[in-house]
Structure 1
Amino acid sequence: MANSPEMRASDGDRDRVAAVLREHTAQGRITMDEFNERLEQLYKSKTYGELARLTADLPEVDLRNRPKVSKEIEKKRDAHAGIKAAWGAWAMASGINWVIWLIVSSTSNGDVYPWPLWVMGPWGVILLISTIFGNNQPKQQQ
């Protein structure tokens, strides 16, 4: 049975229209202001007719067959993910070392040398140089 414009829409129907609106925003067909306005109207909509009016001026979008990302963009994403992971490991190790230093210095009688600087300093400098000057390309397998 076909959905008539007077039939009530479900939350799932509204979510599908929201995904279509996000895709049109990403493709530049509607601005963020228009997207926000339509999204506000979307969640006030009760029927299929009201949902259809929100996308009536937009072409159909098949969310299952989105365009493929180019290999170059995919490689950049992979490289950025690697450098982000390296910085995350550095931050985690630095944080743990500083917590240990803080516990030791608060429980000891005298001053405790800030040794975590020797852990995070050289590692951080190497990461910084790699981030700025590295080509951020994954190594090719032979």
Structure 2
Amino acid sequence: MPEPHLLAADADRAAVVTRLDASLADGRLTLPEYEDRAARAHGARTYGELAELTTDLPDPVPTPARTRPQRSAVHQAVHQAVHGGAWHGAWDRDLRTAWTGWAATAVLVVGIWLVSVLATGDLQYPWPVWVVGPWGAVLLARTVGEHRRRELST
């Protein structure tokens, strides 16, 4: 840590609390000790006050970086064929997740509506359209917009 008399920032206080969290999880601190130290960390003004809170704790052990195993050329080609195309990237994963949620909800509400129609024998108002319709329209607009943006950027 920098010199003890220098003022600490919010990020410094958060880093100490994160270290205290890990020590609590490891069993090095009891809950009352953790609560006391975390409260003092949030109220600390200087690096010296923060350093006092972790002097009896071991230095954190860095976790080794995970490396992906090398893929064979065949595996890469299959991966590209399956996962390539229109659905790739973080934005597309978000879209795919959103569409999956929409489809699951659509199946659920249409199923509920269908059971109620079969149970009563009356053809009821198709209310599921108000649940899945607007949501689907927004998702469709996002999907089309993303595909157009990709076409323009290539």
The two structures have a TM-score, normalised by structure 2, of 0.44
Higher relative contact order (CA 8 A, sep 6+): 1
Which one has a larger percent helix, Structure 1 or Structure 2?
2
The two structures have a TM-score, normalised by structure 1, of 0.48
